[in-house]
Amino acid sequence: MRKKTQVADVNRSLYDIKDKFEYSFKTDGLNEDVIREISAQKNEPDWMLEFRLKSLGIYHKLDVPPWGPDISGLDIDNIITYVKPKTDLNVTWDDVPEDIKNTFVRLGIPQAEHKYLAGVGAQYDSEVVYHSVQENFRKQGVIYLDMDTAVKEYEDLVRKHFMKCVPPSDHKFAALHGAVWSGGSFVYVPAGIKVEIPLQSYFRSNAPGAGQFEHTLIIVEEGASLHFIEGCSAPKYSVNNLHAGCVELYVKEGAFLRYSTIENWSKNMYNLNTKRAIVEKNGTIEWISGSFGSKVSMLYPMSILKGEGARSDYTGITFAGEDQVLDTGTKVVHAAPYTTSNINAKSISKSGGVSVYRGVVRVLPNAHHVKSSISCESLMLDSDSRSDTIPVLDINNDEVDIGHEAKIGRISDEVIFYLMSRGISEEEARAMIVRGFAEPIAKELPLEYAVEMNNLIRLELEGTIG
């Protein structure tokens, strides 16, 4: 059975916003008044307002990174246009771009139009799921809330962790996030609790900017475990085309957290997202990351292996098509002895798309007996596209075992012939090979996500091969 929660990911701020904001404009328009307004709307504690204002100060000091994809299409001098909710928008199904409509239909999401317009169906579904999940969790002491609520209900816990893992000073868009964040998920798993079913990010609050600057904070206590799934494969469409979310994960001693994302933002989106995990002794973070959508992505989930024996696994696939620049990868800091990292990154470029693997493995001087294995594989489907691999190994200890492999190439004619000789058409043969290429990701996903990812690949390939 297909879960109907996908539609929940359509950004509700497009049509659900009821409050009209008045802003006074200065420089880029983002000023203290705006921040105070956002905070007041949420009825937040004072420390959060102060935090927002401090972040705003940092935001104005930092520059845009000189490296990476061109983001000059973002109107950074008028950032308020991304922050300010578009209250004047009256979105109807007709306003939704054709390609997104098609994808809805072809992904088989039933009566997408109906639900999109009603704006309640999916919400309703997720409410139902939410309540049953919630009841079950409460017995175990698991907290699962939307972030805005958590700030109020679990103030101490949030205050202790909020943007401590990703400080606003990290980069300009982290600072922006600190200033204007809204919505997101908060999960707390008490020591020793193993959450058996994957938890999915159902929350989409009506708060302005939610889904655009959402904050995810997950704390998995000692010996606990969790699989969290963010987003889904249905396209998210937003006319506010900047996404600067932030994900902070705290994996305590002996804990396990798998964080999966299949991201399919609409193709006008600048996806400048920051994700980071701090992993304590013998803890494990697993990143499963599929990037399909957005115009530009800069996304490098980072693991700080802080305790002895901590481990990070990254499995990522990036599929860049026409007019897309998807700059993705992972960063691992081995900050303690006996830590391990595995990186398995794959990318596909077609129809002029640009995919970039960018990553780093850093071993700090005290971190002996570190093991790291890095594999990057890139597939070029045509010569209008680009594929760049930009890895860094930064090793500051000799007791290490580091291996790195990167390969770039095309689908071999011999493999195509082999499949065709078994009666499979050329188009299907290529699709089969590409799906096989993506299989290491698919097999790590719950079935319905894996199926949808394969559908996405099929859709991406259709009409470009033959």
Partner 1 sequence: MAERFLVIKDLHVNVEDSPILKGLNLEVGRGEVHVIMGPNGAGKSTLANVLLGHPKYEVTAGTIEFEGKLLNDLKPDERAKLGLFLSFQYPEEIPGVTMENFLRMAKIAQTGESISITKFNRILREKMDLLAMKPEYASRYVNDGFSGGEKKKSEILQMLVLEPKLAVLDETDSGLDVDAVRVVAQGVKQYRSSENAIVIITHHSRILEYIQPDYVHFLIDGRIAKSGGPELIAEIEQSGFAALQSQSGRA
Partner 2 sequence: MSVVINQPVNTLPVLTYRWLKLNELKLSEPIGIPIKPYSKQFVANLDAVKQMIEIDTGPPAAEIQVLGAGVSSQLTRLSQTSANTGIQIIVPPNTVVEQPLEIAYRLDADDCSVIDNNLIIAEADSQITLIFDYSSAPDAAVVHNGLTQIVAKSGSVVNIVKIQRMQDQAVHFDAVMAEIEPHARVNLIQAELGGKLAVTNYVTNLHQAADTKINSLYFGDQDRVIDVSYLMNHIGRHSTSQLTARGVLKDRARKAFKGTLDFKKGASRAEGSEHEYVLLLDPTVKSDSVPLLLCGEEDVKGEHAASCGKFDPDQLFYLMSRGFDKIQATKLIVEAVFSPVIGEIPNDKLQTVISEVIQRRLAGE
Residues that bind partner 2 (CB under 8 A): 65-68, 331, 358, 360, 362, 365, 368, 376, 378, 380-383, 385-410
Minimum distance from residue 443 beta carbon to partner 1 (Å): 9
> Taking CB under 8 A as the rule, which mask of x and - marks residues 378-417 in contact with partner 1?
----------------------------------xxxx-x
Residue 323 or 382: the one with the smaller Cβ distance to partner 1 is 382
Contacts of 208 (CB under 8 A, 6+ apart): 13, 17, 19, 21, 38, 41, 85, 182
Our finding on whether 422 is near partner 1 (CB under 8 A) is yes
Task: Report DSSP state, residue 351.
Answer: T
Residue 45 or 391: the one with the smaller Cβ distance to partner 2 is 391
In degrees and rounded to multiples of 5, residue 427 shows phi and psi of -60, -45
CA separation for the pair 10, 238 (Å, rounded)? 8
Residue 14 or 381: the one with the smaller Cβ distance to partner 2 is 381
Residue 83 or 457: the one with the smaller Cβ distance to partner 1 is 457
DSSP-derived 3-state class of residue 206: coil
Minimum distance from residue 104 beta carbon to partner 2 (Å): 31
Contacts of 145 (CB under 8 A, 6+ apart): 153, 154, 185, 186, 203
Minimum distance from residue 424 beta carbon to partner 1 (Å): 5
**What letter represents residue 175's amino acid?**
A
406, 419, 459, 465: residue in contact with partner 1 (rule CB under 8 A)? 419
Task: Report DSSP state, residue 194.
Answer: B
The single residue listed with the structure tokens 């994996």 is 251
Contact of 343 with 311, CB cutoff 8 Å: no
**What letter represents residue 310's amino acid?**
A
CA separation for the pair 106, 459 (Å, rounded)? 8
Our finding on whether 437 is near partner 1 (CB under 8 A) is yes
Task: Report DSSP state, residue 128.
Answer: H
CA separation for the pair 412, 376 (Å, rounded)? 18
Task: Indicate the helix (H) or strand (E) that contains 35.
Answer: helix 32-42
Residue 122 or 429: the one with the smaller Cβ distance to partner 1 is 429
Residue 108 or 403: the one with the smaller Cβ distance to partner 2 is 403
Minimum distance from residue 88 beta carbon to partner 2 (Å): 39
433, 451, 459, 465: residue in contact with partner 1 (rule CB under 8 A)? 433
67 binds, among partner 1, partner 2, none (CB under 5 to 8 A by kind): partner 2
**Window contacting partner 1 (CB under 8 A); options: 293-301, 302-310, 324-332, 425-433:** 425-433
Question: Where does this chain bind partner 1 (CB under 8 A)?
Answer: 412-415, 417-426, 428-429, 432-433, 435-440
